[in-house]
Chains A and B, each alone.
Chain A
Amino acid sequence: AQSVTQPDIHITVSEGASLELRCNYSYGATPYLFWYVQSPGQGLQLLLKYFSGDTLVQGIKGFEAEFKRSQSSFNLRKPSVHWSDAAEYFCAVGAAGGATNKLIFGTGTLLAVQP
């Protein structure tokens, strides 16, 4: 069965520091992988996605993620965090061959940014 694991429930970083949020997935075929962000009081917004090709993908707001098939991982990174990045981040996996656009979401990582 498909699943997504985000091992870090809560992370605190200082403003200007680098960030890496971990995501591991379980899926038998080629997955589609996504990172979404939820700012306080808002719905989710797509940060970036991986379908195929270059395993390093760039997203909005200066985020990037790297797909590593051997590790079943799709970690999100940002070289320098801004206070406005404080939010909850969700990794998701979708079925590459699926007929619908269903996603399986991880449990989320809540990011706090210290001044």
Chain B
Amino acid sequence: DVKVTQSSRYLVKRTGEKVFLECVQDMDHENMFWYRQDPGLGLRLIYFSYDVKMKEKGDIPEGYSVSREKKERFSLILESASTNQTSMYLCASSPTGKKGTQYFGPGTRLTVL
């Protein structure tokens, strides 16, 4: 089975802190994604990566950056956390050969105080 793991299930940070959310997949997938999920808004794509060191902005990249130094790991960085970044963050991975089929991690619920 494909496994996507996220470093934390719950995280509490202070406004202005730099926050790292880590995602690791074990199936050698080329594509990886970061979403945030908010009630009534569904999933919104923050960034995605289709190869090591490659990244593209999604629909809501402001306030976020990403890093993909190794194929299995995709990190989401909040350079200076703000209260409006309190949300559920979901990571997903997908092999290029399976159009649109994404495998999700369990999510990280981030609270910024």
Spell out A's residues near B (CB within 8 Å): 6, 9, 32, 34, 36, 41-46, 49, 51, 90, 92, 94, 96, 98-103, 105-108
B43 close to A90 (CB less than 8 A): yes
Q: Cα distance A43–B58 when bound, in Å?
A: 20
If over half of B's interface residues share one DSSP class (helix, strand or loop), that class is named, otherwise mixed; here it is strand
With contacts defined as CB atoms under 8 Å apart, how many contacts are there between chain A and chain B in the complex?
66
Spell out B's residues near A (CB within 8 Å): 4, 31, 33, 35, 40-45, 48, 50, 56, 58, 90, 92, 94, 96, 98-107
Given A34-B100, A43-B107, A45-B104, answer yes or no on A9-B40 (Cβ-Cβ < 8 Å): yes
Question: Could you say which residues of chain A place their CB within 8 Å of the CB of B100?
Answer: 32, 34, 49, 92, 94, 101-103
Question: Could you say which residues of chain A place their CB within 8 Å of the CB of B35?
Answer: 105
Contact of A43 among B42, B56, B94, B104 (CB under 8 A): B104
Contact of B99 among A36, A44, A51, A106 (CB under 8 A): A51
Q: Cα distance A95–B33 when bound, in Å?
A: 16
| Residue of B50, B58, B99, B105 with highest tally of chain A CB at under 10 A | B99
A/B interface sample: 29 pairs, CB < 8 A? A36-B104, A41-B106, A42-B107, A43-B4, A43-B92, A43-B104, A43-B105, A44-B43, A44-B90, A44-B92, A44-B102, A44-B104, A45-B104, A49-B100, A49-B101, A51-B99, A92-B100, A94-B100, A99-B50, A100-B31, A100-B48, A100-B56, A101-B99, A101-B100, A101-B101, A101-B102, A102-B100, A106-B42, A107-B40
A101 close to B96 (CB less than 8 A): yes
B99 close to A96 (CB less than 8 A): yes
Q: Cα distance A105–B100 when bound, in Å?
A: 11
B106 close to A105 (CB less than 8 A): no
Question: Could you say which residues of chain B place their CB within 8 Å of the CB of A103?
Answer: 45, 100, 102
Given A100-B56, A107-B40; 9 other pairs, CB 8 A cutoff: A41-B106, A43-B105, A44-B104, A49-B101, A94-B99, A101-B102, A103-B102, A105-B43, A105-B44
Q: Which residue on A lies nearest to B91, using beta carbons? A: A43
Given A100-B50, A101-B31, A101-B94, answer yes or no on A46-B101 (Cβ-Cβ < 8 Å): yes
